[in-house]
Structure 1
Amino acid sequence: MSLLDDIIDGATDDSVSTSNLLRKVQVVAHRLGADDILKWVQRELNGYPDPEDLPPYRRVTVNVMGTWAGPMQSRLRQPLSPGQMPEDAASVLFSVSLGASLAEMEELASDASEQELGVPWDTTHVIAYNQWVEEGVVPFIEHYGLFSANRIVTRGVLRGVIDAARNTALGFALDLQATAPEAGTSGGPTMAEAPVAQVVNNYYSTHIDGDGNQVAQGENIRQRSKVVKGDLSALLKAAEEVGLDAEGNAELARVVLADATERPSKIRSFLSRVREGAFQIGTGVTAEVAATQLSELIAAFQG
């Protein structure tokens, strides 16, 4: 069993932490000489000191809870809305950049306490919001002024970021395995080989340094097709674009909607059947490439 197989199997095994999974990716990246992937793994494991290095999945839109001050020193808490505030301001005030290490995020995400996690607005942001209140462009509470505001980071948000890193590792291993099955072994293929370099560089620029989900329409062609968490119709449409026939699409719907305890094994079985040619795939794409792209789509659907 290769190291790539370990990563692929580990990504669908809840008993394997995402931190441990990425350490295996680190070994593969080191043996390949894939510096960009290696830096990404190290930042995921150790944290991102520079917000500019954050991949798109670590920049998330969140809800904001405001504390309002009113008559007789009263306080009210109420969610805020971007209302008619400038779009560039809303993108800052209602989003959070999460640069903590995976280990920290995994610990916070597993915390069963009721404590609310959040990132407060700067005082200047509170002043700006109150100015928009005076201008009548944002929601407000009569006779109250905004005293403070907190971006709420739920444990679900943290789990979503952790899963995104996990899915990124899975997609990387699947794409690499489709081109160079021996990649990651001692003395195996490296970035000096053009096909390996192309797969690694394309994956990095598309899934780590860029945004969106990419769906292959052929061996050397990629078309943008967006699949978001829980959107079954978008998943099936994208699978159809890959070339999966109606029978395969029906089976895909069944496995992704299966009971959570059975879903990982059903997904693995489905992808194996795709690779073995159990379903008809459209022209211009091999069964192996189709299986790789379907795995990425399923990961995006699961969030």
Structure 2
Amino acid sequence: MSLLREIQKAVLSDDAELSRILLKVRLLASRLGSEPLEDWVKYETEGYPSDADVPDYRVISVTYRGTWSGPFGSGIQNAPIPSYLIEKHASKVWTHRKVRESIASVEELARTKDGILSIDASNLILLLQGKVYEDWACNGVTGTLSSVAMREIVQSVRSRILELTIELEKRVPQAVEVTLDNPVSLKPEGEAAVTQIYNQTVYGNVTHVHAAQVNLSITAGDWDSMVGALVDAGLPKDAAKEFAEIIVDEKPESVEKPLGKKALAWLKKNTPKAASGAWKIGSDVLTKVATEAALQYSGLK
């Protein structure tokens, strides 16, 4: 059975642990030459480091309750604190938590019987003094997460894995041929298609990925024409210049490997911006545009 079929079978099973499924996805990503997809799987299985962006499905809401003491021995116990006040006097970081734990930890948290997960919110005590109930002392703040939100993360990852394999099957037929004993070598456009599918399924809505036609006109060795073409394709001017400088500094090795480590790192950092709609270019074509620009500037195409 092909590796892709094994993943599909496992993700549809109620018994298979998601962490084990992701290991197979990571191997498939490696065989298909998609470093961004590999990184996503690595982060999901090992946890997201503090300097890595987390996908939107891993940002969940936090609710807070507090205890206050007032004059003459009066007090307020376990009172809900409006999110508006938390964001106003602390920041939105407190009300929207980025879940960086590994998917195995998320799965375990999702099994919490009472449905409530507590987090350390002691730092909010000082930030909220006198700002919720005037002249009342804040003695304690408790933050809670819902285990339902954890289950939604698990389900989101499962949905994205399934959608990923479905789109690979449609757009990159060679992916179905990958087995443990039969690695498949994709052409650059095939590797770009894999990364495009990853960008759309992980950072965008889980919808069908449409192939995009990329038409650039870059004179070999002409930095200005490369920047202009990238801007015309939808990149912000600053981003276009940044990428162009990388291509000038890190010339492509060959037609098969037009993007070096710095270029791939740039794509990894900026793909979420394209996926969010902040750029005029979609995440599904960003990799293809970058690859085409590198090839044309270097005279390889």
Same fold (TM over 0.5): yes
The 8 Å contact of residues 167 and 208 in structure 2, kept in 1 or not, is answered as no
Change over 3 Å in CA distance of 1:18–1:147 after alignment to 2: same
Letter in 1 for 2:171: T
Q: Distance in 2 between matches of 1:128 and 1:88?
A: 6
> TM-score if structure 1 supplies the norm length?
0.59
Q: CA RMSD in A?
A: 2.9
Change over 3 Å in CA distance of 1:92–1:116 after alignment to 2: same
Q: What percentage of residue pairs aligned between the two structures are identical?
A: 25
Residue 172 (1) aligns with residue 164 (2): yes
Per-residue CA shift, 1:65-107, capped at 9, x if unaligned? 2233345374500221123665695521211121111222222
Q: Which residue of 1 aligns with 2:82?
A: 81
Change over 3 Å in CA distance of 1:87–1:182 after alignment to 2: farther
CA displacement at 1:111 relative to structure 2: 3.4
Q: Where do 1:203-282 residues align within 5 Å?
A: 203-208=197-202, 210=203, 212-213=204-205, 215-216=207-208, 218-220=210-212
The 8 Å contact of residues 2 and 182 in structure 1, kept in 2 or not, is answered as no
Q: Which residue of 2 aligns with 1:7?
A: 7
The 8 Å contact of residues 30 and 38 in structure 1, kept in 2 or not, is answered as yes
Q: Where do 1:1-303 residues align within 5 Å?
A: 1-71=1-71, 72=73, 74=75, 76-83=77-84, 89-112=90-113, 114=114, 116-123=116-123, 125-133=124-132, 140=133, 144-183=136-175, 184-185=178-179, 186-190=181-185, 192-208=186-202, 210=203, 212-213=204-205, 215-216=207-208, 218-220=210-212
Change over 3 Å in CA distance of 1:12–1:66 after alignment to 2: farther
The 8 Å contact of residues 168 and 207 in structure 1, kept in 2 or not, is answered as yes
CA displacement at 1:126 relative to structure 2: 3.2
CA displacement at 1:51 relative to structure 2: 4.9
Per-residue CA shift, 1:117-136, capped at 9, x if unaligned? 2223352x333333543xxx
Deviates more, 1:82-91 or 1:5-14: 82-91
Unaligned runs of 5+ residues in structure 1 are 134-139, 222-303
Unaligned runs of 5+ residues in structure 2 are 214-301
The 8 Å contact of residues 85 and 132 in structure 1, kept in 2 or not, is answered as no
Deviates more, 1:163-172 or 1:77-86: 77-86
The 8 Å contact of residues 168 and 197 in structure 2, kept in 1 or not, is answered as no
Q: Distance in 1 between matches of 2:51 and 2:122?
A: 17
